[in-house]
Amino acid sequence: MASTFRSEWAPDRSESAPRSGVWLTEVMLVGMALAWGINYSVVKVATHHFEPLVFNAIRIALAFVVLGAMAYGLRDQLPTWRDRRRLAVLGVLGHGVYQVGFVEGVARSKVGTAALVFAASPAFIGIVGRMLGTEHPSRRAWFGIALQLAGMAGVVLGSATAAAGEGSLSGTLFILGACAAWAFYSALLKRYAQRVHPVQLAAWTLVGGVAVYAVVAFPGLLRLDASTLPPVAWAAAIYSGIVALVIGYLFYYRGVRVLGPVKTAMFSNLQPIIALVVAYFAFHEVPTALQLGGASLIMTGLVVSRA
């Protein structure tokens, strides 16, 4: 079992992964999209009971414990001290700054709005990757990126014209900041994804996230009265910590290694569809016409970019 696990997740140093490895990776990324699409509604439910930063601190700590134990079991795959330090610093961006924007954005927005804006993250990743020299999008890809950005603008304008409160513009701005942080994180992560075991990658980048939340969530954690929280709140924390963070991120890191960050991000086109369906049944959310038009442009752009 252990040898199978190591073989399945060991970094692929060949020029291109075998077709079977690509197919398995794509299946995993569909699972990632499903887990993350559902997670929007899970986070929304959880932030009705937890302060947003407190909830994120709990789920990140839970994920860190699980991934830390897995990383300890793979001590022979331990990165160098230099890589460990750099991954932890990178995690401040990818699990600290990004997660603050994500949870605060979802707490302040409609689930569908948050998911649709995040669906345009491949455009951010393509632009940032080109800036840093890690990605070289084709003309077709640039056209797709332009469509995604136009669609995202439609979603943002749709959220601005929606009712205040649940559909607030401030939540959308938090999400846009999170998208930018995720784009830089994904582009900078690529070099490590080629040589570091995904479990070690996930565990050491989470060190940075734990450090950020030890500071920003500390006052809220002092105010937390765990005895007053219903079981659904703890169930949300477990799902969001184990399924969305541990399993979802392991699948994501494998995708970055095998397919690259831009192609991996393309699988996010499933997330808003899943998130919208779940939000409709969970919260009776119905997107505006402007948001649906923006969603169509985002989806079209994703398909064009991936073709």
The C-alpha atoms of residue 288 and residue 243 are separated, in whole angstroms, by 30
- What is the number of other CB atoms lying within 10 angstroms of the CB of residue 203? 28
Strands (E), the chain: none
The C-alpha atoms of residue 199 and residue 70 are separated, in whole angstroms, by 7
pLDDT tens sequence across 18-57: 665 788 998 999 999 999 999 999 999 999 999 999 999 9
- What is the number of other CB atoms lying within 10 angstroms of the CB of residue 64? 22
CB 285 within 8 A of CB 112: yes
Per-residue pLDDT of the chain (307 residues; tens, 9 = 90+): 333 333 344 444 444 456 657 889 989 999 999 999 999 999 999 999 999 999 999 999 999 999 999 999 999 999 999 999 999 999 999 999 999 999 999 998 888 888 878 877 778 888 888 888 877 778 888 888 888 888 877 777 766 555 444 456 788 889 889 999 999 998 898 889 888 998 999 999 999 999 999 999 999 999 999 999 999 999 999 999 999 999 998 998 888 888 887 678 777 667 888 888 899 898 888 777 777 787 788 778 777 876 5
Please calculate the CA angle 276-31-238 and round it to the nearest 5 degrees.
80
End-to-end CA distance of the chain: 37
- What is the number of other CB atoms lying within 10 angstroms of the CB of residue 105? 26
The C-alpha atoms of residue 32 and residue 96 are separated, in whole angstroms, by 20
CA 85, 62, 46, 121 torsion-angle sign: positive
pTM for the model: 0.80
